[in-house]
A = this chain, B = another copy of it.
Amino acid sequence: MSNAILLAPGPVQLHPEVQKILALPMIHHRTPEFDLILRRVLENLKFLFQTKNSVFIHTATGSGAMESALVNLLSPGDEVLCIISGKFGERWAEMAEVYGAKVHRLDVEWGYAVEVEKVEKILLTNKKIKLVLTQACETSTATTQPVQALGQLVAKTTALLVVDGITAVGAFPLPMDQWQIDVLIAGSQKAVMLPTGLSFISLSEKAWKISETATCPRYYFDLRKELKANKNGETLFSSAVPLVRALDFILSRLKELGLEKHFAQLRRRADFTRDIARSMNLTLFSKAPSDSVTALQLPASIKGVELREQLEKKYEVTVMGGQDKEKGKIIRIGHMGYIQDYQLVTTMEKLALALQDQSYNINPEKIKNESEAWLKARPQ
């Protein structure tokens, strides 16, 4: 499977240097050597989040950081507004209910961005809403939400804007402080380009104040204790040493390259994917497409589950299908991770072949030529 291509919206392909670092001999997390690494990582996470606030590391998946956001901010009975435009919006709502919140649902058609005016109206009529929960990119639909506008809106209220940036932070601009995001979370296996296993969270000053009075029980995800530990150059619990060392490499590299240049690389890949999809007469599922992942609407004649399976088995390309109600209807191609342009080109060529296998009217040769023209035109 060494030539297999993995272009899912996480987990993502790893940088060869990350692979090397993961294989290094173990060191203890309570040593001067690791202390140095951890302090640098905690500092550089602020760069990634574009914030002056502390950013915390949980040894957990992104969902763990979502839970962390809730248990650090909620008291049972609190009212929250969930912007729900896909599977992960549903997760916010489910999770908030479990932790005793009264959930106001703002259902948005899958693939669409929320209308900020609707959020404004709800916040105006319900002053009790304490948290506005959204995704920056809803992974299940490859759709971005208007976080900047939401930030402006929520900043004028007593509520907090809580943003799941799992498929966003490190993929496209999401400056926490400038956009007035109160809580921002991210996960390691997406735009942070590492394996699954770490997630990240940061709280604004406004959010810290709320967290002081929140009564939800918390221990594993208790950020008050994590903050104290971090000040001593430690994480609260054992550190996942290989991942933190690899994170150190990723963050240093991002700092060296600059976020803007890095974002431009993803945008270039996303633009190509969207362009070539149009050449294939496929439409974008998303009305507000993300640069981290592209969702393509499959024609009604195509069996989507089979298509994805064929891509994997016959063509050695792993992309993702739709989830929940979009299962079998869309195909999702990730742009995050260590991707070589030819791998994306190959993926689109194989997609054309797999569509043709299902008698879709397509000219794979034309797709191949257009893809290769893009490859040749790439900036040096």
Residues of chain A at the chain B interface (Cβ within 8 Å): 1-2, 4, 6, 8, 10-14, 19-20, 22-33, 59-64, 67, 94-95, 98-100, 187, 189, 195-197, 216-220, 237-243, 312, 318, 320, 337
A6 contacts across to B, CB distance below 8 A = 25-28
Q: Which residues of B contact A62 (CB under 8 A)?
A: 237-238
Interface of A is mostly: loop
Cβ-defined contact, A23 with B20, below 8 A: yes
B-side contacts of A8, CB under 8 Å: 28
Q: A64-B220, A220-B64 are in contact. Are A197 and B59 (CB under 8 A)?
A: yes
Q: Among B13, B60, B94, which residue has its beta carbon within 8 angstroms of that of A64? A: B60
Shortest beta-carbon distance from A209 to chain B in Å: 21
- Given the interface pairs A195-B242, A238-B196, A240-B196, the reply to whether A25 lies near B2 with Cβ below 8 Å is yes
Nearest 3 CB-CB pairings of A with B: A23-B23, A22-B22, A19-B23
Total copies of the chain: 2
Known: A11-B29, A11-B241. 17 other contacts (CB 8 A): A1-B25, A6-B25, A14-B25, A19-B23, A20-B23, A22-B23, A30-B320, A32-B312, A59-B60, A62-B238, A64-B220, A95-B219, A187-B238, A196-B238, A196-B240, A197-B197, A197-B240
Contact between A28 and B11, CB atoms less than 8 A apart: yes
Shortest C-beta distance, A60 to chain B (Å), equals 5
A25 touches B13 (CB 8 A): yes
The CA-CA distance from A243 to B61 in the complex, in Å, is 13
CA distance in complex: A31, B196 (Å):
15
Residues of B within 8 A of A216 (CB): 217
Whether A196 contacts B29 by the Cβ 8 Å rule is yes
